[in-house]
A and B are shown apart, each in its own frame.
Chain A
Amino acid sequence: MNVDQKLYEIIKDFGIDLVLSVPCIFLKGILDLINERKEILHIPVTREEEGVGIAAGAYLGGKRPAILMQNSGLGNSINAIKSLLELYDIPVIFIMSHRGGKDEKILAQIPMGKIINKLLEVIGIKTWSIKSSKEIIKLNEAIIYSQECNCSVGVLLQKSLWSEEI
């Protein structure tokens, strides 16, 4: 199984039945799998904050949502994370590709990429970082933690996770 298949399997097996997404080239593989297999409802959204709103509504209606996005999308979501998810105790799983890390070629990704861990800490989102396929199991931990504490969590998928396959 490749990295994308492993990630997909955990998302599905741990009960996530709705994915909202804003794409990233690193998330292409997993988004393709979600679309092909049609086991998880997938709604692409126009902006990450919109995804937070849809996720919140779907949770109220009984679904277990996750948002797939670049870490930059966290910046577009902060008010909704605080004044919607936290205010009403609504748990959402944020699965983010971490752009702007060590070997990032795109300069525009770096300012946000550098502060993402601090930002998540400040807004009170407990986060797991996954650097290699051995660490994919951390995604289970994150989802279970979110369910047990009824709170939103973050998962940062590092570029090295995919580069070890190349």
Chain B
Amino acid sequence: MKRFDAIKKIVEILDEEFVVCNIGIPSKELFHLKDRPQNFYMMGSMGLASSIALGLAISQPEKKIWCIEGDGSLLMNLGSLSTIANVNPSNLTLIVIDNGSYGSTGDQCTYTSNKTNLEVIAEGAGFKSIVKITKVEEIKYILRDLGKGCHFVLIKTNPGSALVSNIPLKPIEIKNRFMQSFTEN
């Protein structure tokens, strides 16, 4: 399984969820697979996807917030795991696609390809609901059955990205339609 295969399964069950997606190729893959106003493509600020998702979760407690995060970017902002686990919103699912590499910059290895274990880090940060997925067919069943809570979902994949073009939307367009979709949904 590669990141693209994992995102493909995630979008199959996307319904009313609001999604914050990590910088670079993950956002492009998501755009290519299923663009929708409820997707926030984070185009800069590497590392902050999970923080943006936490801000959304506390300000929109009735909505389900999903964050598609990567291993390299999560390692940039590990403190975020402590903050999220302690705030403990009941509507946030942090999906970390861990391919052991910096996929948008040429597949250089991250430390999760060697000794670092994000599942254990999440537990240490205080997450109570942690799931690790290694088989692509498990993704939709596990995500579908999570229910309310603050969840850490680790999807282990191989490195490698799909060949997808840039997102043609301007950042302001992404923001405006995303904010509008809160009032419409």
| Chain A positions near chain B (C-beta within 8 angstroms) | 18, 41, 43-47, 49-63, 65, 79-80, 82-84, 87-90
B interface majority secondary structure: helix
- B33 in the interface (beta carbon within 8 A): no
Q: B55, A46: Cβ atoms under 8 Å?
A: no
Cα–Cα, bound, A84→B44 (Å): 6
- Distance in angstroms from B127 CB to nearest chain A CB is 15
CB of B1 within 8 A of chain A?
Answer: no
Contact of A89 among B59, B82, B175 (CB under 8 A): B175
| Shortest Cβ-Cβ A-B pairs, 8 listed | A57-B55, A83-B44, A53-B51, A46-B79, A61-B59, A53-B48, A58-B55, A57-B52
Known contacts A45-B83, A50-B48, A54-B83; is A88 also within 8 Å of B172 by CB? yes
Chain A contacts for B158, CB-based, 8 A: none
| Contact indicator A87/B178 (Cβ below 8 Å) | no
| Chain B residues with CB under 8 A of A65 | 55
Residues of A near B54 (CB, < 8 A) are: 53-54, 57
A31 CB, min distance to chain B CBs, angstroms: 16
CB-based contact A84/B175 at 8 Å: no
| Contact between chains at A43 and B48 (CB < 8 Å) | no
Residues of A within 8 A of B175 (CB): 60, 88-90
B side interface size, CB within 8 A? 33
In the complex, 18 of the A-B residue pairs with CB atoms within 8 angstroms, ordered by the A residue number, are A44-B83, A46-B82, A46-B83, A49-B48, A50-B77, A54-B54, A56-B55, A58-B58, A58-B59, A59-B59, A60-B40, A63-B58, A80-B48, A83-B45, A84-B44, A84-B48, A88-B171, A88-B175
Least CB separation from B42: chain A residue: A84
- Asked whether A62 lies within 8 Å of B55 as measured between CB atoms, the reply is no
Q: At the interface, yes or no: B110 with Cβ under 8 Å from chain A?
A: no
Q: Is B80 an interface residue when CB atoms closer than 8 A count as contact?
A: yes
Q: Are B59 and A50 in contact (CB under 8 A)?
A: no
Most-contacted residue by chain A among B49, B52, B174 (CB, 10 A): B52
